[in-house]
Amino acid sequence: MLLPSLPSQLDLSRPGTVPVRRKEWQLGESRSRSSSMMRQKLQGWGSGRGQALSGSVALTMSPIAILVLVFSSGCLFYSVKSHLLPTDNIDYDTGAKSFYIANDTFYKDGSPFRILGGDLHYFRVHPQYWEDRLQRAKALGLNAIQTYVPWNLHQPQPEKLNFEDGANLEGYLKLVQKLGMLVMLRIGPYICAEWDFGGFPAWLLSVRPELSLRTSDPQYLKLVDAWWDVLLPKIVPYLYCHQGPVIMVQIENEYGSFGADRSYMEHLAAKVRAVLGEEIILYTTDGAVSKNLEHGSLEGSGVYTAVDFPTEWDPATAFALQKQYNAQGNSPSLSSEFYTGWLTHWGEQLAQTDPEYTAAALDRILYLNASVVLYMLHGGTNFGFTSGSNTGSSVRDFLPDITSYDYDAPIGEAGDIDNPKFQALKAVLGRYILESPPSPPPLPMRKAFGPLQLHKLSSLFHILEYISTDPSGLHMDQPSSMESVHQISGFILYRTNLPSHAKAGSKISISKVHDRAQVFISGLVEGDETTSTRYLHVGTLERWSSDTLWLPSNVAVPGLQLDILVENMGRVNYGPFVYDPKGILSAVLLDGTPILDWISFSIPLDSIPPSVAERVSDRKTERTSRALTENSGEGNGLPFLIEGKYLVVLIMRI
């Protein structure tokens, strides 16, 4: 039988072509490392991301311181396998839900369908605002939401699973469906996403022998399989053929920019099919570069290949290349990451892209009757210590991502849409859909708090026993990584005493510290009535710059306490140096001789019990303590965003 023709709801007319406007990178000196990183991506090992950027707000480095369920209902998904094209024995009037590919077109319930999607990550938005942000997506004219699933969010420790609150994936899928939208699910296990460790859980770095990530290493695959044995059954009820919203599932992410282990990718595809079924559309995403697609796609296996590319590239050329890596007739043009903005690293200006330029680039894609996913639709926030980092040509060329993931997206970090980019993109999308999108909801009520006066409560050293996971510390011959002591995020303090050969001008050196270390030496100071401990800040050692300090004469005394406070600024999420343990990773040398006999204190800052506020109140005012304890809930740990502003003051004002 003949396949149905294009439905009337897809308006393919437009008022003429839009010429390609090309912009040169507008990069200041502070953005030179980002520019280098982007060029590397485009030259083969990267995703091919790029934008015309300009910057407006200067940033400085953040201060350190202180079931498997089995369904027998008739699923009419059709994958990109050539032998699964629709045949005459398919009854399109049965009412069964179907989403498949044929004739280089997506089909939804038997009718051609164009994906107009956007990335909106549930883990970067407070659950209270999920529905609000999704409604804004609909108001833009979108019909699908794409999201990653971070392994480290859902399994932060081997024995701990988390699908509650902001990690409630199923709740998010239900909400998307409630609003009449579809879902493209990117399940990893690696996701990149400017997210800590590219979504890998930090405990993978403590496995011995050392894992070979993103390869067919049997031990690594065993752990991936165990995680997916938890995740995949949760997805089954939400597949489109089971009346759910999920139409496609992506495996890995931009793998062709990293490796070429086809057996690894085949293992992932087979694992997903074993649980989700043979009919589900699996897809990969890679930069529209031959090398990336050759290594990252699974040509001939029935896994659909999607592409991403910079806005200044010719989309027709990119989609023509895409067709070479899909079976004949099974390559609907899809830009699975259309860059509405760009990421920002500490020390850079906030990345911004021209709204009209971005809208014109989107128009060129839609004019080709292609599908598209906006990356990002709404960036949100890297809460806590979840932001990742990038590297350049070496592991020392370190580029940590900022907490905000606003991305200069059309829906701002706080939900704002009264901006030129949202309006420009909406105008373009409106030319390709006949039904007017719904109106957006009003912005949630906001409150202006005015100036906040922050006060020092205590020194980090004075409350170390209360905020470290083990008040007595962990003894070790030489410093070891955070991951080796089962720490995910935050700070780690290494403590020892200066050895007998310490003298004025002695050189302290650490060849490998991830990521930044503050060095202190302390001793007893006698006053008129009391004796106290004074901490002298000797200097800072950084992964990307200095690795040596010299002892000043006033503290170059054998036996004085040496403290090294190391900050984890985000594990690498992209590139060849993704294996990125944190802490002191080499010997600490004094004049070339290793310093031995250390105690480490883990300070994850992930939850601080109310008792800490009570302890601090002994040192400061009852009013300050009451402000802390009133926010502590019913005996639970202080909420992270509340505790953080106080603890930052503690750390900064040592």
What distance in Å separates the CA atoms of residue 145 and residue 174, rounded to the nearest whole number?
12
Neighbour tally for 513: CB within 10 Å: 21
What distance in Å separates the CA atoms of residue 256 and residue 294, rounded to the nearest whole number?
7
pLDDT mean over 342-362 = 97
Q: What token pair was written down for 135? A: 């409604």
Long-range contacts: 212-216, Cβ < 8 Å, 24+?
Answer: 213/578, 213/579, 214/190, 214/252, 214/255, 214/258, 214/259, 214/261, 214/264, 214/578, 215/259, 215/261, 215/264, 216/261, 216/263, 216/264, 216/267
Q: Is the pLDDT of residue 93 over 60?
A: no
Q: Is the pLDDT of residue 66 over 70?
A: no
pLDDT of residue 530: 65
What distance in Å separates the CA atoms of residue 9 and residue 434, rounded to the nearest whole number?
6
Give burial (CB, 10 Å; 0-12/13-18/19+) of 256.
Answer: buried
pLDDT of residue 524: 66
Confidence of residue 52 (pLDDT cuts 50, 70, 90): very low
pLDDT of residue 608: 73
Residue type, 635: G
What distance in Å separates the CA atoms of residue 620 and residue 461, rounded to the nearest whole number?
16
Helix (H, G, I), strand (E, B) or coil at 172: helix
Any idea how long the chain is? 654
Q: Find the range with the poorest average confidence among 67-81, 205-219, 328-342.
A: 67-81
Q: For residue 113, how far is the Cα from the chain centroid?
A: 30
What distance in Å separates the CA atoms of residue 53 and residue 358, rounded to the nearest whole number?
11
Residue type, 379: G
Q: Find the range with the poorest average confidence among 237-246, 461-470, 562-571, 634-643.
A: 634-643
Give the CA angle between residues 56, 60, 65 to the nearest 5°.
155
pLDDT of residue 92: 36
What distance in Å separates the CA atoms of residue 538 and residue 118, rounded to the nearest whole number?
48
Beta strands 105-108 and 99-102 are antiparallel
Beta strands 491-497 and 116-120 are unpaired
What would the pLDDT profile of 241-257 be if each residue is shown by its tens digit? 999 999 999 999 999 99
pLDDT over 70 percentage in the chain: 77
What would the pLDDT profile of 103-140 be if each residue is shown by its tens digit? 999 999 999 999 999 999 999 999 999 999 999 999 99
Q: Is the pLDDT of residue 73 over 70?
A: no
pLDDT mean over 131-156 = 98
Confidence of residue 16 (pLDDT cuts 50, 70, 90): very low
Contact status, residue 644 vs residue 605, Cβ threshold 8 Å: yes
Known catalytic residues? 254, 337
Give the residue carrying structure tokens 């890995």: 252
Q: Find the range with the poorest average confidence among 21-35, 390-404, 578-592, 615-629.
A: 21-35
What distance in Å separates the CA atoms of residue 647 and residue 605, rounded to the nearest whole number?
8
What would the pLDDT profile of 407-464 be if each residue is shown by its tens digit? 999 999 999 999 999 999 999 999 999 899 999 999 988 888 899 888 887 888 988 9
| Cβ partners under 8 Å of residue 216, min gap 6 | 261, 263, 264, 267
Q: Is the pLDDT of residue 537 over 90?
A: yes
pLDDT mean over 503-523 = 95
What distance in Å separates the CA atoms of residue 60 and residue 588, rounded to the nearest whole number?
28
What would the pLDDT profile of 473-497 be if each residue is shown by its tens digit? 999 999 999 999 999 999 999 999 9
Helix (H, G, I), strand (E, B) or coil at 229: helix
Long-range contacts: 629-632, Cβ < 8 Å, 24+?
Answer: none
Q: Is the pLDDT of residue 12 over 60?
A: no
Per DSSP, the chain holds a count of helices (H) and strands (E) of 14, 27
Confidence of residue 616 (pLDDT cuts 50, 70, 90): low
How far, CA to CA in Å, does 504 sit from each of 118, 161, 281, 519, 552?
A: 59, 51, 67, 16, 6
pLDDT mean over 253-272 = 98
What would the pLDDT profile of 76-85 be if each residue is shown by its tens digit? 333 333 323 3
Least Cα distance to 199 among 274, 265, 276, 147 occurs for 147
Helix (H, G, I), strand (E, B) or coil at 152: helix
Q: What token pair was written down for 605? A: 């800052």
pLDDT of residue 569: 97
pLDDT of residue 523: 78
Q: Find the range with the poorest average confidence among 81-95, 100-114, 286-300.
A: 81-95
Query: What is the residue-averaged pLDDT of the chain?
Result: 83
pLDDT mean over 630-653 = 35
Q: Is the pLDDT of residue 14 over 80?
A: no
Q: What token pair was written down for 3? A: 């396949």
Contact status, residue 566 vs residue 598, Cβ threshold 8 Å: no
- Domains present along the chain, CATH in parentheses: 99-430 (3.20.20.80), 460-621 (2.60.120.260)
pLDDT of residue 118: 98
Contact status, residue 161 vs residue 230, Cβ threshold 8 Å: yes
pLDDT over 90 percentage in the chain: 71
Q: Is the pLDDT of residue 628 over 80?
A: no
Q: Is the pLDDT of residue 622 over 60?
A: no
Q: Is the pLDDT of residue 265 over 70?
A: yes
Confidence of residue 15 (pLDDT cuts 50, 70, 90): very low
pLDDT of residue 159: 96
Q: Is the pLDDT of residue 365 over 50?
A: yes
pLDDT of residue 445: 86
What is the value of pTM for the model shown? 0.83
- In this structure, what DSSP letter does residue 63 have? P
